[in-house]
Every structure is written in structure tokens, then in C-alpha cells.
């Protein structure tokens, strides 16, 4: 009996003293599971808050993903800014703007619409927009209002021509701009329809007849 107890005790002692087999860690995943490795956390304070002269500091979470270029708009850079130093009245500006809307309309004898216009048709249509009635022909129109000297011509006046080689006026245009001794006007020509021309062009320089002010001075 004593020998059996002694043998049993020795066996239990030998089992308890058996060396434990070591586990080799071969990956970060295993190490993390065993609690012997922790992945380093990224430093969230990566945006410098140092404030340089003239530049605002950047707060965490408010920085833009794309750089934004800001422009300071001035009168010079703004395409809507138009210098106006000629003191042209608002009415005359609107009169000219209305005429310019017909720029490019083809010529049609007797026409007064966008389907086609002749020279006096263009002028009468523009003035009629503002309840100003004019004679239908350029010759009759030249007898209305005040006849002007060349240096008195302004925007909104009418210029007349003799383009048929005779003494009778047969063409009219509306003055849109005056540059020293040059007069720019809009009219409807037989060949090109409603266009902008100048008295500097040899043809109109040669055929120029007169200029009239149809409207009263209060409109200028």
C-alpha cells in the first residue's frame, strides 16, 4: 500500500514539473490578441497652429481640402464697370441700345421689323418705341428738327446722305458715337443690312449731306 501511494505521488510531481512549451509570436495580429503589442496611434495634431504675420491660424477640422484663391474685385477688373464721361442722357443711351438690337437684320425695302428693314424703317421703328413719330422717308425726315453744324452733332442725332448721285437725300442713320471729326452711326444698307459705319469711310465721307437734331435739348 505504501509503495502504491509513493509511486502515485512521484508521478504527480513529475507531471507538474514538466516544462511548458513556448508559443512563438509570428505576426502583429497574434501579438495584439495576446496583449503584448499595441499599434501606435497617429498624432492628430498634424496641422501647425503657428500664426505668421498676415495669415490666419488653422484650427483642427476646419482646413480645406482644396486651396481657394480669392480675388479682390475692383472697378478696373470688373467687366461690368463702364466708364461714362460723355454725360449722355439715359434716354439717348436707351435709344441707341434699342437701335443696336437690330444690328445684323437684313435689308428689305419698306421693312420695319426684324424680318428686314430699310434705312428709314430702322430709324422710324427705333423712335416709335419711345412714342416719337417721324416721316417714313429719309428725305422727308431730313426736313424735321434742327439742322446742325458738323461740330454740333451728338449721339442720338440723325445723319443724312445722298447715295444715289443726285441732290435728293435718300439715306439716313442714327448717330451712336462721336470721335473728334468722326461720326459713328447705325443704319441699314442695301448690301449688308443693319450695320455700324463711319463718316471716315470714303463712301460716306463723299455722300454725307447733313445732320439733324430731331429731339429737343431736354433729351440730351
- How far apart CA 105 and CA 125 sit, in angstroms, is 13
Q: Which positions are catalytic?
A: 119, 171, 187
> In the 3-class helix/strand/coil scheme, how is the chain assigned residue by residue?
CHHHHHHHHHHHHHHHCCCCCCCCCCCHHHHHHHCCCCCCCCCCCCCCCCCCCCCCCCCCCCCCCCCCCCCCCCCCCCCCCCCCCCCCCHHHHHHHHHHHCCCCCCECCCCEECCEECHHHHHHHHHHCCCCCCCCCHHHHCCCCEEECHHHCCCCCEEEECCCCCCCCCEEEEEEEEECCEEEEEEEECCCEEEEEECCCHHHHHHEEEEEECCCHHHC
Amino acid at each position: 500500500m505504501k509503495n502504491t501511494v509513493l509511486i502515485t505521488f512521484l508521478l504527480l510531481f513529475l507531471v507538474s514539473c514538466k516544462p511548458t512549451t513556448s508559443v512563438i509570436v509570428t505576426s502583429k495580429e497574434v501579438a495584439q490578441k495576446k496583449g503584448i503589442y499595441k499599434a501606435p496611434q497617429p498624432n492628430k495634431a498634424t496641422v501647425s497652429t503657428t500664426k505668421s504675420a498676415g495669415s490666419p491660424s488653422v484650427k483642427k477640422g476646419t482646413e480645406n481640402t482644396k486651396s481657394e484663391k480669392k480675388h479682390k474685385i475692383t472697378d478696373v477688373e470688373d467687366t461690368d464697370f463702364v466708364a461714362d464721361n460723355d454725360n449722355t442722357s439715359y434716354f439717348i443711351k436707351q435709344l441707341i441700345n434699342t437701335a443696336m438690337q437690330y444690328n445684323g437684320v437684313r435689308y428689305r425695302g419698306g421693312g420695319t421689323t426684324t424680318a428686314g428693314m430699310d434705312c428709314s424703317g430702322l430709324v422710324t421703328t427705333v423712335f416709335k418705341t419711345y412714342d416719337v413719330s417721324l416721316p417714313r422717308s429719309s428725305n422727308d425726315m431730313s426736313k424735321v428738327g434742327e439742322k446742325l453744324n458738323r461740330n454740333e452733332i451728338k449721339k442720338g442725332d440723325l445723319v443724312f446722305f445722298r447715295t444715289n448721285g443726285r441732290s435728293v437725300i435718300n439715306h439716313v442713320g442714327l448717330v451712336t458715337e462721336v470721335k473728334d471729326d468722326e461720326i459713328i452711326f447705325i443704319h441699314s444698307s442695301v448690301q449688308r443690312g443693319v450695320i455700324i459705319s463711319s463718316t471716315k469711310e470714303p463712301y460716306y465721307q463723299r455722300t454725307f449731306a447733313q445732320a439733324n437734331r430731331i429731339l429737343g435739348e431736354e433729351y440730351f
